[in-house]
């Protein structure tokens, strides 16, 4: 989904100032070129309009739910998923039903090349269909139609009870689309409180949680869950249970550590075969990024420098502590931040970085490139560096 920036910025400014907001138009089409063209025509018809773009039925419904009290017009492609709909997709018909269930007064301008849906759309109080293939041939008619529809008041022909009944089908399709759009996971965690925390974090990821279980036996008892799952998510304590099942079913594993100490129990072999994230503060950002990477079919690691320094041998002659701070420097060039987190003096951090460059005879950029090469070779992917929490100062670091 997206937003036409100039118009939407005006809308946000007007809202903050308590002024009357401009016209908000929701434009729904799965072809980017068509959306761009129609957005231009909509601005010609309604110069002060803010245009919200939705590339799918699911995105359209999410945007409408968020802005339904300010949207003044919906321009809807009825063939959203094409002539042949794939499983888990929702068409413009379902979007139209859902929007009309949420709001019976917002005007809807359907665009389609198929006239057989016109009676259905008319019953829902939609404006007469505008043929998509005539858009370029008759721009003036489209512009005038938009202006007239914005000033109209839709009159659905079906009763609210019938509309609610019809919308149940749209709700079912929407639920299926959400499951297919989000990463489908099963949570495996023996600790009840941690399992609850994982479930909450995954809701914000977002991921579609198909179920949660305590251990391998519990997971096997819910075997049907595994037929549609894309990843098993659990803590370090649950790796054994997850790996036993994942190996049989070829399911990726996403392991979440809540403190650095847990990661000391993992070996390089674990990091080369699992997706592992450290989320000490419970903020969920590393987990969200891991879910997104998993959905793209990519591996993902989010680790603290201490873990990487322990597993990856430093360049010859470099002390382990210095190696750890050099790795941390991949995440930020702010010596004061590193000094605060590692309980060091900023001058000590700078000296560590300077010694590393002189030892290798490289510039700062070349040093980062070398560190990235070494870490990627060890882990099979460049880990995201998690700087973590502040440490206590030790005598040797003063």
Using the predicted structure, report yes or no on whether residue 351 has a pLDDT greater than 90.
yes
The answer to whether 327 and 383 have CB atoms below 8 angstroms apart is: no
Residues with Cβ < 8 Å from 47, sequence gap 6 or more? Answer: none
Q: Per 3-state DSSP, what percentage of the chain is helix, strand, and coil (rounded to 5)?
A: 55, 15, 30
Dihedral through CA 248, CA 249, CA 254, CA 256, nearest 10?
-50
Is the Cβ–Cβ distance between 384 and 286 less than 8 Å?
A: yes
Pair 307, 260: CB distance under 8 Å: yes
Q: Write out pLDDT tens, residues 254-271.
A: 998 888 888 888 888 888
Does the structure show a pLDDT above 60 at 391?
A: no
- Beta-carbon contacts of residue 79 (< 8 Å; ≥ 6 apart): 91, 92, 112, 113, 114
Q: What is the mean pLDDT of residues 84-94?
A: 62
- Can you tell me the mean pLDDT for 105-115? 87
Mean pLDDT value across residues 89-109: 85
Q: Which residue has the higher pLDDT, 48 or 159?
A: 48
Over 60: is that where the pLDDT of 346 sits?
yes
The domains of the chain, with CATH numbers, are 2-177 (3.40.50.2300), 182-303 (3.40.50.2300), 306-397 (no CATH)
Residue 339 CB contacts under 8 Å (≥ 6 apart), including other chains? 345, 346, 348, 349
Residue 5 has pLDDT above 50, yes or no: no
Which of the four pLDDT bands, split at 50, 70 and 90, describes residue 83? very low
Lowest mean pLDDT: which of 44-48, 182-186, 379-383?
Answer: 182-186
Task: Measure the CA–CA gap between 112 and 95, rounded to whole angstroms.
Answer: 14
pLDDT digits (tens, 9 = 90+) for 230-255: 888 988 888 877 887 788 778 888 99
pLDDT in tens, 299-316: 899 999 999 999 999 887
Cα–Cα dist 375/369, whole Å:
10
pLDDT at 373: 93
Q: What is the pLDDT of residue 396?
A: 42
- The answer to whether the beta carbons of residues 254 and 225 sit under 8 Å apart is no
- Greatest Cα pair distance, the chain, in angstroms, is 81
CA-based radius of gyration for the chain: 27
For residue 71, pLDDT beyond 60:
yes
Band of residue 12 on the pLDDT scale cut at 50, 70, 90: low
Residue 6 has pLDDT above 80, yes or no: no
DSSP assignments along 220-273, one per residue: HHTGGGGGS-SEEEEEGGGHHHHHHHHHHHT--EEEEESSHHHHTT--HHHHHH
Closest CA to 60 of 230, 200, 181: 181
- The pLDDT score that the predictor gives to residue 86 is 44
Per-residue DSSP letter, 329: T
């Amino acid at each position: 989904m997206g937003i036409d920036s100039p118009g939407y910025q005006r809308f946000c400014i007007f809202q903050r100032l308590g002024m009357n907001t401009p016209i908000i138009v929701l434009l729904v089409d799965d072809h980017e070129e068509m959306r761009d063209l129609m957005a231009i025509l909509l601005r010609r018809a309604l110069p002060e309009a803010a245009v919200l773009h939705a590339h799918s039925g699911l995105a359209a419904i999410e945007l409408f739910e968020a802005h339904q009290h300010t949207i003044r017009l919906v321009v809807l492609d009825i063939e959203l998923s094409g002539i042949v709909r794939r499983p888990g997709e929702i068409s413009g018909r379902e979007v139209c039903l859902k929007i009309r269930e949420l709001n019976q007064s917002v005007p809807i301008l359907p665009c389609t090349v198929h006239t057989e849906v016109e009676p259905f759309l008319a019953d829902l109080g939609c404006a007469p269909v505008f043929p998509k293939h005539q858009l370029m041939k008759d721009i003036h008619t489209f512009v005038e139609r938009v202006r007239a529809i914005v000033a109209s008041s839709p009159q659905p022909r079906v009763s609210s009870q019938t509309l609610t009944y019809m919308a149940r089908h749209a709700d079912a399709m929407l639920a299926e689309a959400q499951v297919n759009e989000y990463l489908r996971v099963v949570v495996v965690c023996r600790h009840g409180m941690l399992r609850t925390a994982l479930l909450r974090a995954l809701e914000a990821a977002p991921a579609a949680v198909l179920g949660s279980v305590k251990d391998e036996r519990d997971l096997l008892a819910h075997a049907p869950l595994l037929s549609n799952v894309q990843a098993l998510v659990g803590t370090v304590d649950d790796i054994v249970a997850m790996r036993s099942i994942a190996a049989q079913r070829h399911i990726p594993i996403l392991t979440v550590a809540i403190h650095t100490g847990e990661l000391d129990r993992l070996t390089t072999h674990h990091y080369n075969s699992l997706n592992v994230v450290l989320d000490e503060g419970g903020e969920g950002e590393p987990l969200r990024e891991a879910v997104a990477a998993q959905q793209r079919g990519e591996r993902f690691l989010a680790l603290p420098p201490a873990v990487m320094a322990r597993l990856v041998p430093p360049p010859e002659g470099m002390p382990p502590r210095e190696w750890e701070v050099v790795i941390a420097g991949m995440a930020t060039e702010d010596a004061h931040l590193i000094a605060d987190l590692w309980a060091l003096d900023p001058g000590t951090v700078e000296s560590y970085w300077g010694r590393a460059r002189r030892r290798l005879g490289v510039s700062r950029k070349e040093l980062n490139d070398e560190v990235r090469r070494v870490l990627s070779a060890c882990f099979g992917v460049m880990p995201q560096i998690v700087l973590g929490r502040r440490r206590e100062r030790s005598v040797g670091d003063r």
